[in-house]
Amino acid sequence: MASSDTVEVRGHLLDSGVLSRCATDVRSLGGDYVIERLDVGKDSGDESYARIRVQAEDDAALASILMRLNAYGVNLTEPGEAATRVTETDGVFPADFYSTTNLDTQVRLDGHWVDVQQPEMDCGLVVVRGLEPASVRTVPVSDVRAGDEIVCGAAGVRVTRPAVADRDAETFEFMNSQVSSEKPQALLVRQIADEMRQTKAAGKRILWVGGPAVVHTGAAPAMVALVENGYVDVLFGGNAIATHDIESSMYGTSLGVDLLRGNGVEHGHEHHIRAINAVRRCGSIAAAVEQGVVTSGVMHALVTHGRQFVLVGSVRDDGPLPDVYTDVIAGQRAMRAQLPDVGFAIMVATMLHSVATGNILPASVPLVCVDINPATVTKLADRGSSQARGIVTDIGLFLEQLADELVPQRPRSHRSA
């Protein structure tokens, strides 16, 4: 690390996470850092102060890092003078132009700090020397003209972090959304597959929590492949996932055709209540499998491969199936009894049973929540399952790709549709 410089920052550092973000950025840009000094205000309202030494491979890399830190209000302890360069072409900045934030900013020119007029993010800084003293204003790249004098690099630029003024008046929170559907999902699938393999290798059990969308999105064959290959030790769910799975198995011709043709599952059809009635006649799902009433699907696979399931009912249930706990406290007890040796938990497409499982799961069990609705993922974390990691994606495609990763050799007949 041949190049280094020292930066400093003041403010409510503990609350703001700014130190953490600096650390992440320095490393991601190939540099390193040492916190040389950190003074924490003793009282709750006091500001803190940090001084950090930043290192990089060469001056160019260091300049990149310093400009990035600058954006958080982390300034050079010895800022020096601003360097400028004259633009050669209309609408184009010099390559190493200083890219602005929307925070209050000052530029050091001829030994004086000059306030930047009208701070605006993602602009350059143009120095206007016509009058004395020189002034500095933001200019968007579309409006820069050949001959403009543009600030380059982070030297001589100082950014002020906004003070968090009056605590009691702060009735809204700053937002910091981190549940997003804009992630490389194919990669996430691979990571989950890896975690599942490691869980099995460590002799631990994998817990699934699932909703009926597993069936509706056509992912039952993928799920069956996962059961058959040992990646589902226990399934928590409600009356709906089991009912729709069994309905799909029993009314294969018609509903199967619907699923195959993509016509979707019509609501209000009476098939589900007839399926429930038939299983009630058998006495249990296992008995229905034994008597040949249920011959395929996720529940069939769980029964025939000796996997566990706990179905807990809700007030909106029809029926329910005979295996469903209608007393929710008894259901919670049955779920708790399945937790020992669980080493990985995955929740797909169900808010009610995901939150219920989150309620009883130790924080030490890794937990992934997959849902097309960001609200489900958020709610889980809001309620205390802080270890929850969320993936906002399509359940059908997700399970299909997960089965491709974990059971690559599965026959076509085990693929969806």
Q: Restricting to residues 55-114, which ones interact with a second copy according to CB under 8 A?
A: 67-68, 71, 89, 91-93, 95, 97, 99, 101-104
For residue 328, the minimal CB distance to a second copy (Å) is 5
In 3D, which of 292, 309, 314, 291 has the Cα closest to residue 242?
309
| 169 C-beta neighbours (distance < 10 Å), count | 7
Site for a second copy in 324-353 (CB under 8 A): 326-333, 335-336, 339-340, 352-353
- 8, 149, 228, 258: which one binds a second copy (CB under 8 A): 258
Other Cβ atoms closer than 10 A to 393: 18
CB of 307 to a second copy, least distance (A): 20
| 183 touches a second copy (CB under 8 A) | yes
Among 44, 132, 292, 306, binds a second copy (CB under 8 A): 44
Is 51 near a second copy (CB under 8 A)? no
Q: Which amino acid, residue 223?
A: M
- Cβ(338)–Cβ(234) under 8 Å? yes
CB 214 within 8 A of CB 236: no
Out of 2, 57, 273, 305, point to the residue binding a second copy (CB under 8 A): 273
Instruction: Write down the least CB distance from residue 417 to a second copy, Å.
Output: 4
List 77, 291, 295, 359, residue binding a second copy (CB under 8 A): 359
- The yes or no reply on residue 146 touching a second copy (CB under 8 A) is no
Q: Is 280 in the site for a second copy (CB under 8 A)?
A: yes
Task: Give the Cα separation of 185 and 141 in Å (integer).
Answer: 34
Q: What are the tokens at 240?
A: 């709906």
Interface with a second copy by CB under 8 A: which range of 224-232, 289-297, 298-306, 375-383?
Answer: 375-383
Is the Cβ–Cβ distance between 356 and 334 less than 8 Å?
no
Q: Which of 314, 325, 317, 287 is nearest to 303 (CA)?
A: 287
Scanning residues 203 to 232, which ones bind a second copy (CB under 8 A)? 212-213, 216-219
Among 130, 201, 261, 306, binds a second copy (CB under 8 A): 261
User: For strand 388-392 and strand 367-371, is the pairing parallel, antiparallel, or unpaired?
Assistant: parallel
Closest CA to 347 of 379, 303, 322: 379
Pick from 130, 133, 175, 413 the residue near a second copy by CB under 8 A: 175
